[in-house]
């Protein structure tokens, strides 16, 4: 994985299975017979299904790509039979099914081979000392190929070749066959306040738009418009009329003075622009937008929140393959950069590669990447240079690293001295451009060597935000980042790509010396081999730590109630005056304090009332304090004591403000260096 260029390798897995003759039939027998047919259409959430047979009680059936578990009763219903059912079992996705003459209504009681390709394959680990209740999913992917080899003693050996969930994204297209039309005629009209054009629109083909009455359309070489309460035609013989002059062009485009040309192509596009109709508008938050493109399906039902149900932008990745919480956490970090100009289909009618769209247009500008994360799900990782609060993973030579000495390489030319950013994309007009240059590095580079990186930030509309992104890249990549490669034992198997870890190894060079202690590294490569002989794990780690110590913003809590009498009190504090309950390591303000801490009690304006109170055992939002010389009041603020009075654990965890002589008591202040 390369955060600089946005390149990421998506691996595959090979599983060798020894199966008896009966089990082999799951992969090689002929298509099973049809057990029944769907008699009535069902939605993606229906819990009752009507079939043409009454012999399928308490069985699992397969309808298209969905597995459905039927109940124990078949109730007659108009010549057919009604069953209660559980939808989307065996890791399949519940979806709507139609029952027309041209629809696939075949119901199977065994897995049909015609739907085997792309089935989800999960790899579980079950401890030898445990049972199936202790199993954990380690990896998942989608079946690509099956191979069989004869075995004289058993039915044979089957090899399953499985693409990772991430690999399955590559080649997936969105914006396939959007609604298209053309301008058949242009007429002038007016009302009491406006003069405007009325377009006579003719459909090209029979493709339906995403919405029956609200759409966003682009007229080639003209402008993009919102059509509200205007039904686009869906056949060449049908005519639609759209008074475009009453609608404001999208994405900041200037309204054209002349009418569009007769014969100009019109196509439906999708955008995050605030003026787009709400039913077809994409999110302007990067993480939510990524989830929409991944989880949207043609019929809806893949995810209650992020499946928009629009065929034209359907990535159709099963929700079970996506680490939704990871995308939501990442979204909290980047939503200060709104994507108000993300468009699909505005610059070409050609299909878009889903993987490339996610990676280049959404993630790379923030030094983030799609990854195959823990338990095999599609996730997102950012270039981080600090171990997350509350974790203390350390790679130790004696415990986790195998006998082979680690290797360190420094890619000298993988640096950046110039970053060009495209931003503020507007249909027809195109994007603006800004460039940031590291002048000193450019002057020091070999003659003729300039490392320019271009970022696609067209979805961001403001120049200051684009400039900030460009400066971040120049700052972070103006020097090469060393890569540590090592072989680890099985105990390190919970280290995943995108995870920051503290590394202590005696043979790793560090600033001209040998040995690194608690250096911050980021896992960017991971290869795991499981064979009957060994369990091997190879890791690649970036030496990202830019500070000798990692500190976090210290906690605070606002008093909402007081009980007890001096010098000991119990403070009830507000739950989330300083924390976000949905994001970050602290779900409550009080969670930042622990028994043995030393704190200051301040009034609501920050004036210190007592510089040193002792913290007892914290429970929920209740914080007991002792050695308090004043009577706490509602509205007071509890915060970490000054450095000289803080407990040792606090000194090594929290960031403190240096005094006038740039020291923390007798300890020199720690500089955060970037050079």
* Token digits of residue 534: 């060994």
Q: According to the model, what pLDDT value does residue 675 have?
A: 34
Q: According to the model, what pLDDT value does residue 115 have?
A: 76
Q: According to the model, what pLDDT value does residue 241 have?
A: 63
Mean pLDDT of 178-201: 75
Distance between CA atoms of residues 16 and 161, nearest Å: 9
Q: Write the pLDDT tens digit of every residue in 342-354.
A: 999 988 889 999 9
For 47-56, 264-273, 390-399, 432-441, which range has the lowest pLDDT when averaged over its residues? 390-399
Under a CB-based contact definition with an 8 Å cutoff, are residues 65 and 87 in contact?
A: no
Is 50 exceeded by the pLDDT of residue 291? Answer: yes
Q: Which one, of 647, 521, 653, lies nearest residue 595 by Cα?
A: 647
Helices (H), 6-111: 21-28
Q: Which one, of 334, 326, 331, lies nearest residue 374 by Cα?
A: 326
673 confidence band (pLDDT: 50, 70, 90): very low
Distance between CA atoms of residues 227 and 277, nearest Å: 8
Distance between CA atoms of residues 310 and 114, nearest Å: 26
Is 90 exceeded by the pLDDT of residue 505? Answer: no
Among 213-222, 431-440, 559-568, 584-593, the range of highest mean pLDDT: 559-568
Distance between CA atoms of residues 621 and 592, nearest Å: 11
Q: According to the model, what pLDDT value does residue 185 have?
A: 83
Under a CB-based contact definition with an 8 Å cutoff, are residues 47 and 85 in contact?
A: yes
104 confidence band (pLDDT: 50, 70, 90): very high
Is 80 exceeded by the pLDDT of residue 256? Answer: no
Q: According to the model, what pLDDT value does residue 146 have?
A: 83
One DSSP character per residue, 201-250 reads EEESSSPPPSSSS-EEEEETTTEEEEE-S-PPP-STT-EEEE-GGGSPBS
Stronger pLDDT, 19 or 592, i.e. the higher one? 592
For 87-91, 201-205, 256-260, which range has the lowest pLDDT when averaged over its residues? 256-260
Sole residue written with tokens 């209660």: 84
29 confidence band (pLDDT: 50, 70, 90): low
Is 80 exceeded by the pLDDT of residue 386? Answer: no
b/e per residue 195-206 (b: at least 16 CB within 10 A) = eebbbbbbbeee
> Helix, strand, or coil here: 290?
helix
414 confidence band (pLDDT: 50, 70, 90): low
For 374-378, 395-399, 400-404, 565-569, which range has the lowest pLDDT when averaged over its residues? 395-399
Under a CB-based contact definition with an 8 Å cutoff, are residues 597 and 605 in contact?
A: no
Burial grade of 309 (CB within 10 A; 0-12, 13-18, 19 or more): middle
Sole residue written with tokens 């003693």: 153
Stronger pLDDT, 157 or 256, i.e. the higher one? 157
The rounded mean pLDDT for the chain is: 83
Q: Is the dihedral of CA 277, 279, 282, 287 positive or negative?
A: positive
* Token digits of residue 285: 């938050």
Give CA separation, 165 vs 2, 118, 494, in Å.
19, 10, 19
Stronger pLDDT, 534 or 54, i.e. the higher one? 54
Q: Which long-range contacts (CB under 8 A, 24 or more apart) does 432-438 make?
A: 432/463, 432/466, 434/463, 434/466, 434/467, 434/470, 435/470, 436/467, 436/470, 436/471, 436/473, 436/474, 437/474, 438/474, 438/478
Give CA separation, 303 vs 290, 307, 317, 327, in Å.
13, 5, 10, 14
Mean pLDDT of 222-227: 78
24 confidence band (pLDDT: 50, 70, 90): low
* Token digits of residue 149: 């080899």
* Token digits of residue 449: 């060597």
Question: Could you tell me what percent of the chain has a pLDDT over 70?
Answer: 84
Sole residue written with tokens 């405007």: 196
Q: According to the model, what pLDDT value does residue 674 have?
A: 40
Q: Which residues pair with 538 in a beta bridge?
A: 487, 527
144 backbone φψ class: left, alpha, beta (φ>0; ψ -120 to 50): alpha
- Three-state secondary structure readout of 140-184: EEEEEEEEEECCCCCCEEEEEEEEECCHHHCCCEECCCCCEEEEE
Q: Which residues pair with 291 in a beta bridge?
A: none
Q: Which one, of 216, 278, 279, 272, lies nearest residue 249 by Cα?
A: 216
For 333, phi then psi, to 5°, come to -80, -25
Q: According to the model, what pLDDT value does residue 672 have?
A: 47
Q: Write the pLDDT tens digit of every residue in 318-350.
A: 888 899 999 999 998 898 899 999 999 988 889
Mean pLDDT of 351-368: 92
For 54-63, 122-131, 200-209, which range has the lowest pLDDT when averaged over its residues? 122-131
Q: Write the pLDDT tens digit of every residue in 532-550.
A: 677 778 888 888 876 656 7
Query: What count of other Cβ atoms lies within 10 Å of the Cβ of residue 41?
Result: 14
pTM above 0.85, yes or no: no
Q: Write the pLDDT tens digit of every residue in 191-209.
A: 656 666 677 888 888 888 8
Question: For the CA atoms of the chain, what is the radius of gyration?
Answer: 30
How far from the centroid of its chain's Cα atoms is residue 295's Cα?
11
658 confidence band (pLDDT: 50, 70, 90): confident
Strands annotated E in 465-549? 483-488, 500-510, 513-530, 535-543
Q: According to the model, what pLDDT value does residue 613 have?
A: 96
- Three-state secondary structure readout of 347-375: CCCCCEEHHHHHHHHHHHHHCEEEEECHH
Mean pLDDT of 289-311: 88
Question: Could you tell me what percent of the chain has a pLDDT over 90?
Answer: 31
Q: CA-based diameter of the chain, in Å?
A: 90
For 132, phi then psi, to 5°, come to -70, -15
Q: Which one, of 491, 483, 517, 485, lies nearest residue 503 by Cα?
A: 517
């Amino acid at each position: 994985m390369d955060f600089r260029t946005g390149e990421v390798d998506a691996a595959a897995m090979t599983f060798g299975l020894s199966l008896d003759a009966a089990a082999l039939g799951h992969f090689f027998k002929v298509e099973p017979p049809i057990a029944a047919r769907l008699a009535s259409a069902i939605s993606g959430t229906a819990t009752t299904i009507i079939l043409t047979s009454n012999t399928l009680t308490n069985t699992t059936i397969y309808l298209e790509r969905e597995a459905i578990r039927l109940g124990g009763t078949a109730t007659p219903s108009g010549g057919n039979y009604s069953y209660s059912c559980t939808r989307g079992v065996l890791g399949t996705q519940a979806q709507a099914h139609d029952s027309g003459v041209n629809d696939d209504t075949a119901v199977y009681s065994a897995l049909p081979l015609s739907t085997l390709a792309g089935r989800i394959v999960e790899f579980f680990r079950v401890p030898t000392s445990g049972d199936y209740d202790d199993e954990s999913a380690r990896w998942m992917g989608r079946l690509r190929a099956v191979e069989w080899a004869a075995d004289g003693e058993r039915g044979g050996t089957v090899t399953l070749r499985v693409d990772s969930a991430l690999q399955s994204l590559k080649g997936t297209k969105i914006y396939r066959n959007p609604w298209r039309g053309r301008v058949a005629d242009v007429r002038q009209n007016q009302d009491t306040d406006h003069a405007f054009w009325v377009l006579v629109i003719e459909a090209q083909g029979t493709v339906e738009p995403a919405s029956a009455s609200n759409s966003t359309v682009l007229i080639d070489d003209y402008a993009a418009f919102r059509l509200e309460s205007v039904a686009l035609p869906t056949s060449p013989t049908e005519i639609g009329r759209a008074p475009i002059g009453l609608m404001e062009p999208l994405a900041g485009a200037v309204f054209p003075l002349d009418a569009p040309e007769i014969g100009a192509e019109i196509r439906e596009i999708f955008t995050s622009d605030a003026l787009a109709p709400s039913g077809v508008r994409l999110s302007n938050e990067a993480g939510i937008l990524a989830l929409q493109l991944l989880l949207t399906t043609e019929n809806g039902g893949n995810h209650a929140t992020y499946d928009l149900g629009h065929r034209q932008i359907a990535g159709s990745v099963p929700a079970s393959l996506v680490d939704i919480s990871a995308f939501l956490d990442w979204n909290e970090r980047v939503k200060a950069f709104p994507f108000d100009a993300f468009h699909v289909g505005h610059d070409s009618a050609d299909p878009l590669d889903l993987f490339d769209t996610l990676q280049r247009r959404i993630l790379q500008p923030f030094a983030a990447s799609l990854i195959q994360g823990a338990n095999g799900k599609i996730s997102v990782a950012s270039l981080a240079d600090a171990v997350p609060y509350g974790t203390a993973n350390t790679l130790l030579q004696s415990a986790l690293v195998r006998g082979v000495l680690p290797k360190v390489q420094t890619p000298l030319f993988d640096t950046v001295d110039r970053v060009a950013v495209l931003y503020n994309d507007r249909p027809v007009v195109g994007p603006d451009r800004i460039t940031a240059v590291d002048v000193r590095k450019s002057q020091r580079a070999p003659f003729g060597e300039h490392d320019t990186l271009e970022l696609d930030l067209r979805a961001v509309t403001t120049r200051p935000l684009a400039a900030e992104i460009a400066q971040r890249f120049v700052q972070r990549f103006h020097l090469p980042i060393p890569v540590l490669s090592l072989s680890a034992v099985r105990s390190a198997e919970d280290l995943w790509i995108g995870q920051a870890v503290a590394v202590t190894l005696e043979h790793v060079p560090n600033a001209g010396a040998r040995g690194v202690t608690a250096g911050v590294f980021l896992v960017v490569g991971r290869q795991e081999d499981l064979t009957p002989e060994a369990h091997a794990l190879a890791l690649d780690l970036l030496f990202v730590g830019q500070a000798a110590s990692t500190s976090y913003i210290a906690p605070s809590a606002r008093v909402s109630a007081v009980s007890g009498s001096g010098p000991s009190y119990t403070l009830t504090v507000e739950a989330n005056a300083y924390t976000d309950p949905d994001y970050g390591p602290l779900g409550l303000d009080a969670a930042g304090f622990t028994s043995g801490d030393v704190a200051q009690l301040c009034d609501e304006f920050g004036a210190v009332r007592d510089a040193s109170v002792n913290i007892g055992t914290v429970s929920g939002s209740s914080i007991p304090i002792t050695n308090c010389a004043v009577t706490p009041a509602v509205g007071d603020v509890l915060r970490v004591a000054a450095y000289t009075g803080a407990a040792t654990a606090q000194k090594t965890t929290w960031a403190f403000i240096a005094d006038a002589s740039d020291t923390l008591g007798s300890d020199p202040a720690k500089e955060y260096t970037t050079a």
